[in-house]
Each structure stands twice: as C-alpha cells, then as structure tokens.
Amino acid sequence: MGGATGCHGRGRSGRTVGEGRHGDAADRRLFDVRGLVRAGYHDAVRDTLPLVVRYGAVSARSAAGTLSAAGAAVTRDLSVVDGAAVSARKDSASKLWSTLTAGRGFDRIWLDGKREVSLDQSVPRIGAPSAWQAGYTGEGVTVAVLDTGIDTAHPDLVGKVAESRNFSEEPDGSDRIGHGTHVASTIAGSGAASGGRYEGVAPDATLISGKVCESNFCTESAMLAGLEWAAAEKGANVVNFSIGGFDSPEIDPIEEAVNTLTAEHGTLFVVAAGNSGSSDGSVESPGSAEAALTVGAVDRSDELADFSSRGPRIGDEGMKPDITAPGVDIVAARAAGTATGAPVGEHYTAASGTSMATPHVTGAAALLAQQHPDWEAGRLKATLMAAAEPNPSLTGYQQGAGRVDVARAIAQSVTTDPVSVSFGRALWPHGDDEPVARTVTYHNGGTAGVTLDLAVTATGPDGEPAATGIFTPSATTLIVPAGGQAQVTVTSDTRIPGPDGLYSGQLVATGGATVVRTPLGVHKEVESYDLTVTLLDHDGAASGASWATLLGIDEVRWIDLFDEDGVATARVPKGRYNLSALLITERGEGVPPAVSLQAQPVFEVSADASVTFDARKGKPVSTTVPERTAVPALIDVTFQQALEDFAYSVGLWTDSFDELTTLHIGPRGERFSSYVASQWMKEDADGEAESSPYFYGVAERFEGRLPSGYAKHVRRGELATVRQEFGALPDGMIGHRLLFPELDPDSGGSAIALPTAAPGRRTEYLYVPGVRWSPELHISKPGEEGFPDMRALLFQAPVSYRAGQGYKDVWHTGPFGPVLPASQWPSQWTTRTGDTIIVDLPLYGDRAGHGGFSLTDSSRTALYRDGQLVGETEYSAFGVFEGLPPERGDYCLEVADTRSLGDLTTEVRGVWTFQSAHVPGEDVFARLPLSVVRFTPRLDADNAATAGRSFQIPVTVQGQSGAPGGKVRSLTVDVSYDDGKTWHKAQVRRDGGGWVASVRHPGAAGFVSLRAKATDTGGNTVTQTVIHAYRLR
C-alpha cells in the first residue's frame, strides 16, 4: 500500500492502533497508512522512512554497521532509549525489516512519529502573588521549554532565555508558530509589554529553549534529543512539555525517556494531558508517563475545559491527569509574525488548551524549587498535588488532585507516596470480587508532628456520591511525626451495591491548617466478556501485521485488537458492535502487500467469544477504465458506521488491485455503508503524473454491506467528460488537482493530489451514477523533501454531472477576488446563530467563480455594532463574534488583507453594513444579507489587458444563497492605475442581469485596481476593493 499523496475527504477519520501496555517489537504506526500520509512520510513525498530503534545485545558501532548494510543510516544517537534515530530507505524496507526482527541484537522498533503542540487572571488564580510576597519568584531555577522555540526578542522575554538549542529540521531556533513563546511567557514572562499585567508565574526563573517542533508537529527523535539535553546535559530543574500524541497501552519511547530521565536526574517533567477530551481514557502520551506531572485544563471557574483529556490511562487504568490549571483564553506573549490564538494588542494573544495550562504548573514548580533547592521531581510533584484545590463536581479522572495552588504548596509539609492510587480494573461480574488494598505513606517534612483525620470522598459513574465502602482507609486518625512517616491502608471493595463504571475520589487528610489530598480510582467493569480474534494472512499463517477493530453501535466505542503473534484478546462491554479486520501479507521488496478488508456490520457481544478472520476467504476487488494506458494512483476501500450524531470510518488506501480482497460477514448493517473508489492517471517514463493528459475518477457506494469482492468495468457511457484548463500560477508555485467523490447521502471519499501543469489542460472522466464530484486546486510552494506547502486553494461545491455529457471549466484565471459559492452546510460563509455572528468569507476566488482562500501577509477582520467595536481578529475574513446583544442593531463588518503570492490581488478590502438580531432556536443559522462584487473581464493568458485602449469589465453582485436582502438599488465602480492612490469613476451600464463598467486604460504597462460599492433595496451595502486586479500590457 502507499504511493499516493492522499487527502482526507469529508467525514473521514484516520485509524490508529494499539493494544497492551507492554513492549511489542514493532510500532503499530508503521502499518497505519493514513497516519503515514498525515505525517508526510508516504511514498509521494519521501523515499526514506524515519525510525527510532533500541539496541539490545549489540553495541552502537556494530548496530550502525548492520543498519548501513540493510539500507539505513543512523541520523542521531539517542542514549535515553539506548538507541538511535534512523533513516531507512524504502526500497530496502524488506531487508531492513528482516535485519531488525531476526534476532540481530535490536530490541525495539518505533516510527519516528510526529506529535502536536497540543495571565493576568490565571496567575493570581493559582496563588502566585502569595509566593512572590514570600520571596519566591523562581530565581536560581532553570526551566527548559521544549516546544516550537521562543521569540527571545519579545519584550516580555528579553534576557530571560539563557540558551537555545535547535533539535528540529528547520535551519534556526526561532519560533515561527508562536506556541513556545506563549508557553515560555506564561512561565517566566516579565510582562514588560503590558506594564506587568501579563507577568508569568515565575518571572525570575531562567529559561532554556529546546526547539523540537518544525510546525504544529514535532518528530519524536527531536523530542528525545531535547529531553536528554534538558535533563542530562543542562540539569534543568523543571521541563515544560506542552506536546502530546496518541497513547497506546505500551510504553512508547517518549514515555520511556520521561520515566528514565526523571529517575536518573531528578528532573520534573510537567506535561500537557492533551486536547482530546469529552471521553474517558483520552490522556495523551507522554502525559501518560508515570513520572510526568500531567496537567489538565480548567476555566476561570475551575470547571473542566471541554477539550481537556481525561483518564484513566490506557492499559493499566492509572490515575491521570495529576493536576489541573487555568487553560482557557490565556493571554500571553505572541511571537512576532505568528498567528497562534486570538491577538490581544500588538504583543499578546489569547489561546486555549492543556498546552496553556501546563506552564502554569511548571511555573508553580519553579517557585517551589527555589524554596527547596534540594528537592527533586518526586517531592515537587507530591507537594503540588497534595496542596491542590479540587472542584467537587469533577472526578479524579478529570482533575486528578485538583487545580494547582502554589500559595498552599509553599506551606505544604505533608505529602503522600504514591501521589495517587489506582486500584485497577475489577472484572465483571462483581459478586466474587476480592477487595484490593493499597498502602499510602504520609511523609512529614515539617518540624512538628501532625495528627491527621482521614476521610474519603468518592463519586460513582452516575455522578452521584458512591456508596460507603468503595474506598475505605484502615484508620480514621494518623499521627505523622516531625521528619517522619506513617502509613495507612486503603481498600477498594467493588462488591458494594452501585452502578458499574469508573469510581474516583480522594483520600483527604486534615489536621489544623494541613490538608493533604490523594486521588483514588477504580474501574468497576461494566458487564463485559473476553473476545479473542485470530488473524490469518493470505498464506493461512497468523499475522502480526494485521489488526481487528470493534466499533460500538449502541454507544461510541473504538477497540483495536492486535498482537504480534496474530491472536489478540480484549475485554469488551456487552452490546452491539461492528467488527472488522484489515489483513496484510508482505510480499517482498518492490511488490505490493496482499490486503483483505473484512467486515461484520452486526456483532453481538453477550458472552465470551472467539472469531477468526481469514484473508484466504476474501474475494477479489478490481476496476478497469476505458483507457488502457491508465494506472491507478489511488484505490480507496472504506466502510462507514453511523450513529445518532457520530460516525466511524475504516478503510484502506493502496495503488494496486493485485491481491486486494474484501469480505462481508453476516447480515446487512443498519446505518452501515461502504464504497469502492479509484482514481487513475497516465504516468510518464519517470513515473510522474504532472503531464498526464487525463484523469479517471470512479466511486460506487453500497448500502448496508461491504461487497464481498467487486468487479467494475467502467463504460464510457457512464462517464461525464470535463475538459479543464488551468491558468498560470505565480512564479515558484506548483499546482495539485484533487477531486473528492461525494457519495449520497452525504458521505465523502478521498482524493489523489495529482500534480498539475499550469498553464495546462487535462480531461477528466468522472463516473456519474450516485456520485457528485467536489474539485479543488491547491497552489503550493515546494517544501522540504518535496512536500507541498500550500499557499492558496480554489474549490467548487459538489457538482452533479450527467453521463455521456461534455463540460468545460477554467481554473485560476483572474481577476481574483471575493466569491460566494453555493454553501454546503448551514453555517457556511456569514451567518448568525443565537447571539453569535460567524464570518468565513472566501476572498480569493477566480474569474470562473470558484471559491478561494489564500495565505496572507497581514489580515484584519473586525465587527462593529452601532459604531462600537465588537471584536476583531488577525485572520483573513474570519471571526466568531460571541455575546452580541439580542436586540436588532446596525452592524458593520470590515476585512483587510495584504498578500505577496505573486503580483495580482495584493490587497483585498471590504466593508459591509447590515442589520441583525437574535436568531432563536438551537443550531439554527440565519444567513446574513452580505454580497460581494465580482469583476469578470476577458484577460489574456497572463491575466493582462491591452494598455491604451477602452475596456469593458462585466460586473455582478453576488449574494449569499438563502440570505434576506433586496435587489441591487445602486452600483458604482472606480478604477485606479497607481495602486489605489487615486481613483477614477467608471461608466456603469446595465447589461442583462448584471452590469458593464467601461474604462480607458493608460498607455503604459502596469496594473489595474478596482473598487465598487453596491446598495440593495434593504439598505445593505458592500464596498469592495481589489488592488492589482489585473495587468496592463
């Protein structure tokens, strides 16, 4: 599989895999094709694959020689995992795989994956000013920030960063994203640019910056190197790690590094829990590492942020997160030239996420480390957790010990070991459950003994207080001597009456001013059974490269089953599921693997069960198109299971029908559908497609079933013929054409990003029955290793063609400007729902009316009501403006962009006036009466008109479909030949349903800029300006 540049279609989700918190030899992400595409590791982008290997019984020198002989090279030593980062040639993949798995001294293989970089009120909220008054500001404490880099020239961070190291693949350590700068200023920013208003938690701490992220994604080898540098080389007291990724039950290399470095160097790693909230078991890696101090996010009222990831930890039911901190609308430093968050003035931006919560805890740890310079990670973590302030309405799996309170932490003398207690999972049924006991040790670091009263608070899965006995301490009073310790046993008994599910609470110890909180948790399993799945490959052998997936039908649940011996067992709650398997058999170097997708849409779990998936039972899948020279660039076989307000999809991408099979098992499924799609092109002698004169797109949907085999021989009479022309792109840009099949009802497919010459032509042959086609044109700058860096996008709403008919379309010809294509969903373009106005206008459409977006150099979108500014953003014609008065008011929307993508449409400005009031109803969106003015003159292939002549410019006023508003009452058009410095009124006359503006071009070459104002009979107005609308020759 592989070989195609893939883009997700609408309604698609990638798949990830994982099972068992242990150390399988091979990382499952190596078989996750969609994940490889998202990370930019697929064949169309690079001919190497980055790996991380751990040495076993082999030396580094010997390993390097062995790897080189197998077609791989060591790119970075990673002693923290006793291994190295490796670049492996894909054409030697089979040889390398044999070397690494054949007992040649290598213990573990991981993909060098990529992970996401998931004050003024928040700093006082956590008690930092009290710590400052006590003399603790972080002075003498070194804090490492491993992130996207830090803008060291920001006024709040000048002189704060003692050292910067770049571990990323970018040429320097500057922050081009803004994430690391925001994090760093939350920790130790001076607040200089705000008169101290946005001062960080530990303003006198010393920062060191390790840039481990190129963009919003960070390679694991860079993170590993950064972790080791911060802890082992620089001796940082605390490391902030606001980065996360998918967690599996096994220990991944980042988790292993956090645990190892903590044990070896005493460094405290403060890690974001992740932004995958709303469901249990969503804490991300490496926040899942046992040694990490893992941080969830709360708002100003200490309510859990909806995005904040929750426990328990996958695999062993561990208590995570450990603590929470403010993470919603945090205003902190904005790196120069970046667009993270919502800008607040010139130097700051407001952002939300557990990434924003984490540096609050890091700063708190720095204050505590200054107070106790001899303390290492364990004691810092224990003290911050013991002193945390819980929200009684949240569970331990949502908040851990509670919201960080550094004012209490600096006075906290009693802590516990462990810092939290998980009693694991008690398997259903519970009548014969054995009580589980855990020992909690209280340490008193004070100079006086303390008598503690012990009590338990606990909540059940229904949110109600748990029955007495779910957690019981062996004593209600405990005396802890000065400088000493005392123990208590806590017992969890899941035999007690009450609903099945997750129980959590706190062991609360109080004595005078001393309060110690220790999170408790147990999983009282709901009715569940063992499901064992055996996966057989195309040769009948058990397959460790295959996996099965269970998708819940009664409720949202996703369970993957795999094991390297091809037999996997999982505990599965009673209910109805969709059960499927993807069976893979490697065929050697240069040969596509054999692949079989098999699905049983309805699988009832009501007892222990065993299921075998056998690739040999699959039926062949094939498609042919009328053009014999065409080769498949993308084959997509996918099924979808829809629920009430959620849908799963599972499938495969490949570029060969050889040994590709499918199999439907059992009865038809409800709200289950599948499709088989393929996209075809002609390759040149070098295997490239840019010069392909044609494209074939085929897609067919099946309701209630996955076809058991598929043979489609497409006839010309089933195809529409669309002759496409593409206008010239700006210098240095490349084009990619994508056509997404839209399969009724409202399910989307995938598309190949087909390199496209522009100017150029291509004929597209599109399968018609039951399919609409949604085309796009991406304009990109070639990026590193050839991966396109998209700068602009043209798109068209899904089109229904007629079989046997011919069509013509032209893309990317000027003038470029605002266009309002047909909307595809209720909130698209400019709407109001309740008391919120949503703006998302495509300002860079082409002459033919395709919508368009573009990267800009500067942007501003502002909304006014009755002359008063409501809000503004630094995004191109985009903003969500909440909390508007419900009464009808006069609104004014302003947008202004500049861009340097070529020399056309270098500025776009627009001003719209309209009235609006509250829109009643939940999820009801009312379209606002906004229009755009479109200029569509005939230009030459260079988007130019002749100088020194009269010229006719057709003009139309295009409103939002379904929006109120009257007919156009007046229209004026102005023209400028000096980039808008001076304007001349054009003669405008009616012409059918539009207008024509007459202008006289000057004799010299240059550019023409256009401005128009329209007013409708409802009083709504639009004033629109396009600088450099077209050229003069």
* b/e 616-637 (16+ beta carbons within 10 angstroms → b): eebeebebbbebeebebbbbbb
The single-letter DSSP state of residue 198 is T
- In sequence order, the 6+-apart residues with CB closer than 8 A to the CB of 923 are 826, 833
Residue 448's contacts (CB-CB under 8 Å, 6 or more residues apart) are 482
The answer to whether 895 touches 843, Cβ cutoff 8 Å, is yes
Residue 178 near residue 349, CB atoms below 8 Å = yes
C-beta of residue 242 within 8 angstroms of C-beta of residue 360: no
DSSP letter at 230 equals: I
* 72/330 Cα distance (integer angstroms): 44
| C-alpha to C-alpha distance for 74 and 84, rounded to whole angstroms | 6
Angstrom distance (rounded) from CA 737 to CA 398: 44
The question of whether 918 is a catalytic residue gets the answer no
Those residues with Cβ within 8 angstroms of residue 779's Cβ, 6 or more apart along the chain or in another chain:
729, 730, 733, 734, 735, 790, 791, 792, 793, 794, 812, 901
CA R_g for the chain: 31
The tokens of 219 are what? 């390679």
| Cα distance between residue 475 and residue 491, in whole Å | 11
| SS3 (DSSP) at 776 | strand
Count CB-CB contacts under 10 A for residue 996. 17
The one catalytic residue among 179, 443, 538, 1001: 179
CA–CA gap between residue 708 and residue 442 (Å, rounded)? 62
Catalytic residue among 355, 596, 674, 1009: 355
CA–centroid distance for 757 within its chain: 31
Q: Is the preceding omega at residue 418 within 30 degrees of 0, hence cis?
A: yes
- Alpha carbon of 489 to those of 205, 418, 438, 766: distances in Å? 39, 12, 6, 70
Give, for 480, the enclosing helix (H) or strand (E): strand 477-480
Tokens of 223: 């993170």
627 with 680: CB under 8 angstroms? Answer: yes
Which residue type sits at 167?
F
With beta carbons less than 8 A apart as the criterion, state whether 536 and 581 touch. Answer: no
Location of structure tokens 């293989």: 109
Q: How many CB atoms lie within 10 A of CB 711?
A: 11
Q: Which of 32, 147, 156, 636 is an active site residue?
A: 147
Identify whether 147 is a catalytic site residue: yes
Active site residue 658: no
Please tell me the distance from the alpha carbon of residue 888 to that of residue 891, in angstroms, as a whole number.
9
User: Contact, 434 vs 464, CB < 8 A?
Assistant: no
C-alpha to C-alpha distances, 309 to 38, 304, 353, nearest whole angstrom? 22, 10, 10
Query: Angle between the 179-188 and 354-371 helix axes, to the nearest 10 degrees?
Result: 30
- Confirm if 838 and 307 have CB atoms less than 8 A apart: no
Q: What is the spatial distance between Cα 282 and Cα 247, in angstroms, rounded to a whole number?
A: 8
Question: With contact defined as beta carbons under 8 Å apart, do 185 and 338 qualify?
Answer: no
Q: Tell me which residues are annotated as active site.
A: 147, 179, 355
